[in-house]
């Protein structure tokens, strides 16, 4: 199963009617599950997946959510889908794994609009779906999807498309088999829900839609984005050591922007 762009945008229609729900039941999750996964069985993934997120974030605009997956058998990871029930777009990111991975560890920053269950659904190579969930409480303040980008608008526009990719030291979770890297992108990831207080017009949506990291012809990671990626998206990920001395990152947005850069990864690869 590959989640389509339709799946990523399904929450637009649901956003106005969703209500808080427990981990495996409730109106919000029932609607999301049917729209995204159909009638496929989803089983408890707590033995295979670790989900880390703050119970009450300091800033709802930049919430770190981490996923650690270990299948422990001959199957590999096909996709890792992150969902936030009460967001206007509940499917907030889909990570497609390369290189026949049976383990993966990914951390990224997301906008969480209000108190909500956060879910991770992992699809194994045999099609089986596994899920874990955690409640994130509202930290107060303005809805994150309606909050304007931070910083000077002229500087934000001028820096759009810049990126960095660098190895992460072994204390960040690297192993003798896997290395880690941190990708930072410069992009406001406009949600389309922010009103200009002078013109009283909404800033048009322009979100990071696709991110691809590869080494030569080998896919390391591909990401389908959404408006719930934070401003200046960050992704920290692991990848197999050996041969990946150079990585190329390409990312695109819904306004037609596309940026590509190649990075030298150094001896940690």
- CA dist., res. 247 & res. 214, Å (int): 6
What tokens appear for 237 in the block?
């990920």
- For the chain, the average pLDDT equals 88
Give every strand in the sheet of 163-168, ordered side by side.
49-52, 63-70, 103-110, 234-240, 178-185, 163-168
Span 241-266, pLDDT tens digits: 877 789 999 999 999 999 999 999 87
Q: What is the rounded CA–CA span in Å between residue 158 and residue 20?
A: 39
pLDDT tens for each residue of 164-220: 999 998 665 556 788 999 999 999 999 999 988 778 889 999 999 999 999 999 999
Question: Do 240 and 156 meet the contact criterion of CB atoms below 8 Å apart?
Answer: no
Q: Is the pLDDT of residue 6 over 50?
A: no
Pairing between β-strand 234-240 and β-strand 178-185 as defined by DSSP bridges:
antiparallel
pLDDT of residue 10 exceeding 70: no
Summarised one tens digit per residue, pLDDT across range 84-119 is: 999 999 999 999 999 889 999 999 999 999 999 999
Q: Under 8 Å CB-to-CB from 204, ≥6 apart: which residues?
A: 190, 192, 255
Give how far the C-alpha of residue 188 lies from the chain's centroid of Cα atoms, to the nearest Å. 15
Q: Of 177 and 122, which is predicted with more confidence?
A: 122
Q: How is residue 170 annotated by DSSP?
A: G
* Tokens (6 digits) for 27: 């109106």
Domain ranges of the chain: 5-264
Alpha helices (H) in 117-251, listed in sequence order: 153-159
The residues facing 263 across adjacent strands are 247
Instruction: Write the class of the CATH domain 5-264.
Output: mainly beta
């Amino acid at each position: 199963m590959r989640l389509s762009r339709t799946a990523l945008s399904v929450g637009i229609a649901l956003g106005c009617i969703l209500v808080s729900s427990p981990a495996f039941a409730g109106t919000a999750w029932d609607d999301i599950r049917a729209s995204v996964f159909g009638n496929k069985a989803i089983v408890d993934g707590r033995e295979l997946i670790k989900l880390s997120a703050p119970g009450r974030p300091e800033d709802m605009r930049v919430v770190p959510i981490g996923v650690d997956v270990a299948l422990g058998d001959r199957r590999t990871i096909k996709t890792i889908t992150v969902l936030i029930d009460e967001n206007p777009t509940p499917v907030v990111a889909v990570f497609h794994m390369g290189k026949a991975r049976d383990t993966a560890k990914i951390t990224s920053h997301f906008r969480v609009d209000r108190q909500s269950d956060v879910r991770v659904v992992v699809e194994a190579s045999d099609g089986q779906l596994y899920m874990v969930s955690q409640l994130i409480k509202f930290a107060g303040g303005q809805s994150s999807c309606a909050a304007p980008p931070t910083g000077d608008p002229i500087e934000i526009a001028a820096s759009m498309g810049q990126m960095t990719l660098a190895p992460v030291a072994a204390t960040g979770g690297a192993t003798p088999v896997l290395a880690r890297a941190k990708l930072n992108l410069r992009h406001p990831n406009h949600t389309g829900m922010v009103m200009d207080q002078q013109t009283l017009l909404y800033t048009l949506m322009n979100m990071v839609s696709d991110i691809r990291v590869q080494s030569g012809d080998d896919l390391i990671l591909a990401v389908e984005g959404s408006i719930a990626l934070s401003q200046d998206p960050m992704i920290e990920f692991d990848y197999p050591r050996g041969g990946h001395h150079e990585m190329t990152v390409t990312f695109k947005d819904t306004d037609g922007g596309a940026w590509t850069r190649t990075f030298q990864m150094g001896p940690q690869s």
